[in-house]
Structure 1
Amino acid sequence: MAADSRLGPDDLGRNLTWGLQEVLGRSIVVGDYREKPFPTEAEIVKQHGVSRSVTREAVKMLAAKGLLGARPKQGTFVRPEDGWNLFDTDVLRWLLERRRSLTLLRHFNELRIAVEPQAAALAAIAADDEQREAITAGLERMRTAEDGLDDGLDADIAFHVAILRASNNPFFVQFRSVVGTALRTSIRFTNRLTGRSASIADHAAVHDAILARDVEAARATMTTLISKVLDVIEQVPVQENEA
């Protein structure tokens, strides 16, 4: 799958550096440079019609994401995939956009099941009134979305992010950007396979346990919710999973 390597008008926009980073980053992740070397600075300047300063800054940003490295005499090169920063939301988004992303979705939800049940348990203990209201607001948005009056995807993400915030654990709170980015793909995928949107009842069970300050129920209901997502992913035939 080859990415379009030209910058379009929208990419040029206000921020040439961001636009160039977006095009080059996506090209790296989808494998355009798997069989050929990463272009030199002069080649990027010529191909995309940008300045050397814009090129250098974009390359520097991609290096910070773990996608690029540099060696004397060898120049800039694409780093092995196990060196990429999967917690960088751009890298995660590009990975989820490419083919064979189902395996990554499974890995992501395995990470969620290690983090979010504990975040829910902590929220049952530590959430203040404002944070509890935010969790309720997320659930109400999901219910409103069922009637077509809100965006179901945004509402679902808002619910999960509210719980991460309510854990009052700074590490879990910072996980919210990764959750938000990957959930956009995960929810669309599971909704397409099941033919329905997220279960309001499952989310309500998590909500009710947190508001009741029932630590074990909060942990268990969130575990159940994410386990159902993993079950959906595991049911996908191997050939489609790797498509």
Structure 2
Amino acid sequence: MANFASSKNLSQRMTIELGRAIVCGEYPRDKSLPTEAALCEKFGVSRTAVREAIKMLTAKGLITSKPKQGIRIQPEENWNILDPEMLSWSLEAKPSLIVLKEFTQMRMAVEPEACALAARHASPERLAAIESSLVRMEQAVQNNDLAAELEADIDFHVAILYASENRFYIRMRDFTRTALNVSIQHTTPAIDNSESIVDEHARIYNAIKSGNAERAKNSMFLLIDEALSIIEDKLSKI
């Protein structure tokens, strides 16, 4: 039995554990989940904590809870996959490459246009944030610091979302961070040339800085298309 009695936020801890278990397929999709009493026993928490966790997971579109019907798992198309926590759980499930493929396809619809908008509207402060991330990428590659390279790479893409000055794209920041943290670790080793990756990012930055929206858009499209090809190749070998 998992015991969360010492936690200051039992419902949040239970939300994470139960949500992850559902997404990763530990519970049959065509049957009700255990009762509140059974969940209290399994997780070592109160009914209040269980009910709060159920509310949180219901808000994510993962489950429903109705009298006489119990707690049931929702169809996957109802899941709020844009929720970073939900995405993180999905990436833990097998095969995560399918989720990464779908995420990368969505990136192709968002990030190239975000680059074009950044080229048109980015303030000096937003441009400086993109440049700072690029410089950190270069330094990390020189120092063979993979963790720092990954962090800077993610910051680069998030900085472009901010530079677009589009509130909807900016709201994609947490979702993008979560997915790129996994995606880049799949695609970068396959390229096996960190310097070329930096060069590709530099082309994007230079196009944005020069105000060339079309070049910025195309450069980002090519970068993401390469990542998608790598993921599709890996999927074909499963």
TM-score of the alignment, normalized to the shorter chain, above 0.5: yes
- Aligned residue in 1 for 2:59: 64
Shift of 1:34: 1.6
Bigger mean CA offset, 14-23 vs 111-120: 14-23
1:24 CA displacement: 0.1
Deviations 1:110-153 (A, max 9, x none): 10010000000000010101000000011011112111466111
Per the TM alignment, residue 195 of structure 1 is displaced from its structure 2 partner at its CA by 3.9
Contact 2:32 2:72 in 1 (8 A): yes
TM-score by length of 1: 0.91
Q: 1:163 aligns with which of 130, 136, 160?
A: 160
Percent of aligned pairs sharing the same letter: 41
* C-alpha distance in 2 between matches for 1:43 and 1:233: 40
| Equivalent pair of 1:7/1:19 in contact (CA under 8 Å) | no
Q: How far has the Cα of 1:54 moved from its partner?
A: 0.8
- Distance in 2 between residues matched to 1:78 and 1:84, nearest whole Å: 10
Structure 1 counterpart SS, 2:71: strand
Q: How does 1:1-243 map to 2 (within 5 A)?
A: 6-7=1-2, 13-34=7-28, 36-146=31-141, 147-148=143-144, 151-197=148-194, 199-240=197-238
| Secondary structure of 1:76's aligned partner | strand
- Whole-angstrom CA distance in 1 between matches of 2:70 and 2:193: 49
TM-score by length of 2: 0.93
Question: Contact 1:157 / 1:183 at 8 angstroms: preserved in 2?
Answer: yes
Q: Deviations over 1:171-227 (max 9, x none)?
A: 000011111110011011112433454700110000000001111111010001101
Cα pair 1:131 1:165 within 8 Å, conserved: yes
For each residue in 1:94-121, what CA deviation from the matched residue of structure 2 results, as whole angstroms up to 9, or x when unmatched?
Answer: 0011111111111111100100000000
Deviation at 1:37, TM superposition (A): 2.7
CA contact (8 A) 1:7 1:20 kept: no
Contact 1:70 1:76 in 2 (8 A): yes
Aligned residues: 234
Matched residue of 1:50: which SS? coil
| Compared CA separation, residues 237 and 171, structure 1 to 2 (3 A) | closer
Judging changes above 3 Å, is the alpha-carbon distance between structure 1 residues 43 and 196 closer, same or farther for their aligned structure 2 residues? farther
Q: How far apart, CA to CA, are the structure 1 residues paired with 2:234 and 2:33?
A: 35
